[in-house]
Structure 1
């Protein structure tokens, strides 16, 4: 068994390849480690799953992502940081304008610099809003994944019903959308 992969040694090759039709490599690793890993066996990771699937010709997947991770973003915290920067900038601007109110050349230079800075802050705020919207969508997708996980776990108790549902889904026009979730 020297040339055999870890997954084949565990006797889980067919299960991994079947799961790869609908799950990411990280989701498969979680599923294998939680439900199918023999007692005392070392857990598999997403890269092991990815290499196994690639070595078995599963390279042109619609869901090539290996990971299901989501980056956290504190939209409120970032908005507060932008607000704090604006307040500091405004206070600094007031003091400086009082100092140079008679020098038109300095006023003009300062106005240009200040406008550029305010445009950067506006773009940063727009970016924060975009990221917040994306994060909201990802959170919704995460909740849908959790619901589908419960449904799939329940369906595992009824293999014939599960097979029928998956067959209907595969023939459905929304199958790719469901796979992406």
Structure 2
């Protein structure tokens, strides 16, 4: 069997250790950023998955190999879109009002339509705010994962300290939270 590029680079054991806590995508990112020799091709998540499977690591709780969707939207851009719709709606309502100001029945219909549209815009803006808060939280978790990854890779160099830290963490009430990251 041919030697894996991860073994050639001397990081096979490190990859297997990282797999305890990271997804294949996260490991591939880490390897490409920190351990890939200059001029070598990028490692992808499938390379990491195959390597781990070949070394008996197939049943991890976080055995996901696919990337986390990166469907973030620009909150300011979305707010600007809502603002433009609001301005356009206001201008259009003003024009319509000028044309039908003598017809009370049409004015009543126009008011109902306008109120429904304004409520839809308000709901859209509230949704944008909620999504923005969720994105901020996810970004924070992503940063915490990266920090923990660095800490764990540093602890790999000092096994006695790693054991001591994990013993203390297991006693802590936040251990399940840390494992979930």
Tell me which interval the TM-score lies in, with the shorter structure as reference length: 0.7 to 0.9
Q: How does 1:29-108 map to 2 (within 5 A)?
A: 29-37=28-36, 41-53=40-52, 56=56, 58-59=58-59, 61-62=61-62, 64=64, 66-67=66-67, 70-108=70-108
Answer whether contact 2:15 2:27 (CA < 8 A) is retained.
yes
The residue that corresponds to 2:138 in the other structure is 138
Q: TM-score, normalised by structure 1?
A: 0.74
Count of residues in Structure 1 that have an aligned counterpart in Structure 2: 180
SS of the equivalent of 2:22 reads: coil
Unaligned runs of 5+ in 1: none
Q: In 2 relative to 1, CA 104–120 (structure 1 residues): closer, same or farther, beyond 3 Å?
A: same
Matched, 1:109 2:133: no
CA offset at residue 159 of structure 1?
3.0
Query: What secondary structure does 2:20 align onto?
Result: coil
Give the deviation of 1:90 after TM superposition.
Answer: 0.9
Corresponding residue for residue 19 of structure 2:
20
**Conserved 8 A contact 1:63-1:179:** no
Matches of 2:23 and 2:104, distance apart in 1: 62
Q: Does 1:158 align with 2:158?
A: yes
Cα distance in 1, alignment partners of residues 60 and 101 from structure 2: 66
Q: 1:12: Cα distance to partner?
A: 5.7
Which stretch shows the higher mean deviation, 153-162 or 24-33? 153-162
The alpha-carbon distance between structure 1 residues 7 and 163, as it changes in their structure 2 partners (threshold 3 A), is same
5+ long unaligned stretches in structure 2? none
- Which residue is equivalent to 1:176? 176
Query: Which is worse superposed, 5-14 or 36-45?
Result: 5-14
Q: CA deviation at 1:104?
A: 3.0
Structure 2 CA distance for aligned equivalents of residues 145 and 36 of structure 1: 18
Computed over aligned residues only, the root mean square deviation of the Cα atoms, in angstroms, reads 3.3
